[in-house]
Amino acid sequence: MTKKRFINILFKATVILLPALILYREINSRNDLPEIAAVFWYQLDNANPWYLWAAFILAPLNWLAEVQKWRPFVQRHEAISMGKALQAVLAGYSFALFTPNRIGEYGGRILFVSPGHQWKAFAANVVGSIGQYLVLLTGGITGGIWFAGQKMDWSAAQQTRVLCASLPALSVAYYCYFNIGLIIPVIAKLPVLKKARGLVSKLRLLLNFSRRDLLYVWYWSALRYAIYSSQYFLLLQFFDIKTGVLMGFSGIATIFLLQTVVPLPAIAGLLVRGGLAIFVWTCFSANEVGILAATFVLWIINLILPALIGTFSLSHVNITTTLGYEDE
């Protein structure tokens, strides 16, 4: 067996077995899983099933929105079909399962791009991630302040103070995003990066993104945010957690914002998600099992399902060729 073949086999075994083992451990550690399953089957028989099916139907739209956010900038350098770009995005989910803040998405995607253009694909993913975080912060701050005022007895003065403190920071973040051309030279002069000339040259790839490009990325990021927020709201309705539309979406925005500041691997964050969900939704319902069930099903739809599909895609990747290595 050649070294190249051994590396490919080892890689495929790892990307298939590691997520499976972590998933098994995460699910097996939940003592409330039988209760969640019982609630799910009860609601499936008694609730409006269209809430659940609509949440599932929105999942592929979420994936395609992410493809549209990333693929056009890769296409500037090499041809990549919608199908291959979708495989790359789903493969990114597989790596994201066991990396903090889903940074593994970067590695999963570049495996579907030729070695000469991988840094350009990486840069496109960086811009996409920043755009998504900006949308998340915008929605989270807005929704969180509203939610705190309605359900946590924040006074108008407290809401105003938090808003006034948040707006300058958010404005700076948007300025930096839409003026990458001004920011990169400043970053390059940081003492910690002065000796890393290769990394600085890679950072300059971000200068290829015009403001129109950045607005395009922000638009698709906002669309994705609307899709997965709607999925969560639909699942709350399916599990009979009645919040009302405005309060429901503000609570969802609050949860997504709080989840983001906890740097846990996606697959290991279920406990945190469940705790945050109970904290927020018990304002509307004492049905903690139903709240956990809605959170668990959303986790399955938006993380586990695409990761499993992505794992299948990764099993067809020739890792050594993709990374630019030749047979010895």
CB proximity list for 209: less than 8 A, separation 6 or greater:
73, 123, 127, 180, 217
Task: Report how far apart, in Å, the C-alpha atoms of 42 and of each of 153, 234, 238, 293, 305 are.
Answer: 35, 17, 11, 12, 22
% residues pLDDT > 90 (the chain) = 39
**Where exactly are the structural domains of the chain?**
35-79+120-307
How many C-beta neighbours within 10 Å does residue 229 have? 18
Specify the pLDDT at position 180. Answer: 83
Rounded distance between C-alpha atoms, residue 197 and residue 189, angstroms: 11
- What is the pLDDT at residue 324? 55
**Predicted local distance difference test score (pLDDT) of residue 19:** 67
Contact 74, 113 (CB under 8 A): yes
Write down the pTM of the prediction.
0.87
Find the mean pLDDT for residues 56-78.
94
pLDDT of residue 271: 64
Least confident segment among 105-114, 160-169, 244-253: 105-114
Q: Has residue 268 got a pLDDT over 60? A: no
Residue 100 bridge partners (DSSP): 265
Angle between helices 245-260 and 211-238 (to 10 degrees): 120
pLDDT tens across 196-234, in order? 566 667 777 888 899 999 999 999 999 999 999 999 999
β-sheet bridge partners, residue 265: 100
Reported confidence tier of residue 328, pLDDT bands at 50, 70, 90: very low
3-state secondary structure of 89: helix
Q: CA-to-CA distance for 278 and 290, rounded, in angstroms?
A: 10
Q: What is the mean pLDDT of residues 164-181?
A: 91
pLDDT interval class at 236 (50, 70, 90): very high
